Amino acid sequence: MKALPKGPIANPGREALQAVVTPEKTSYFFFVSKNDGTHTFSESLGEHNSAVQKFQVDRKAREGKSWRDLKKKAPSTTKNKK
């Protein structure tokens, strides 16, 4: 049976904390998930909107990857009658 991990969940590691204290200097202002665990970064709103269209709005680009496309199992509401 699967269980929760032994350590804290979502506890940031040393690298994450270091990145907050000393962030990289970049000209990126926006980011969009590519639905594969990676992201694309943009400097302008126009680039960002194009990335949103490509990776989020386009159904084919996110097919089978996005939480939006997960089929939820509806709980059974019918009971067996004898």
Best CA proximity match to 59, nearest among 69, 74, 45, 71 = 69
C-alpha 9, offset from chain centre: 17
Amino acid 54: pLDDT: 92
Tokens for 6? 């032994």
Which CA distances in Å does 70 have to 25, 63, 66? 37, 9, 7
Ordered domains of the chain (ranges, CATH): 24-65 (3.30.160.60)
Amino acid 32: pLDDT: 94
pLDDT tens sequence across 2-40: 888 787 888 888 999 999 999 999 999 999 998 888 899
Amino acid 36: pLDDT: 83
Helices (H) and strands (E) in the chain, counts: 3, 2
